[in-house]
Amino acid sequence: MPGHDLKKLERELQAVLDLSGELIQLIYKKGYTTPREFALVEGVTEGLVIQLRTLVTVSRDIIANAGR
């Protein structure tokens, strides 16, 4: 089992934040999306949010049950 490189994980999570901030700036630029592109970005974003919420929930449950 590989070691826990928490700094790498933190950098990757920060990259998600940075990229989402960049995407937020882009979506407001005129001509960014056609209706199909909008639907694609919306669908991918909704999927990512669901996955992140699940990850946070499971992580909290693991920590809450670690001492039992």
The predicted-structure confidence for 57-68, as pLDDT tens digits, reads as follows 999 999 999 977
Could you tell me if residue 20 is inside a domain? no
Residue 1 has pLDDT above 70, yes or no: no
Could you tell me if residue 52 is inside a domain? yes
* 22 neighbors 16 (Cβ within 8 angstroms): no
The predicted-structure confidence for 2-51, as pLDDT tens digits, reads as follows 788 999 999 999 999 999 999 999 988 888 888 898 899 999 999 999 99
Is this prediction's pTM over 0.85? Answer: no
CA distance 18 to 26: 13
Domain count, the chain: 1
Residue 60 domain boundaries: 34-68
What is the pLDDT, as a whole number, of residue 60?
Answer: 95
> What burial letters (b/e) apply to 50-67, b meaning 16+ CB within 10 Å?
eeeeeeeeeeeeeeeeee
* Tokens describing residue 66: 């670690």
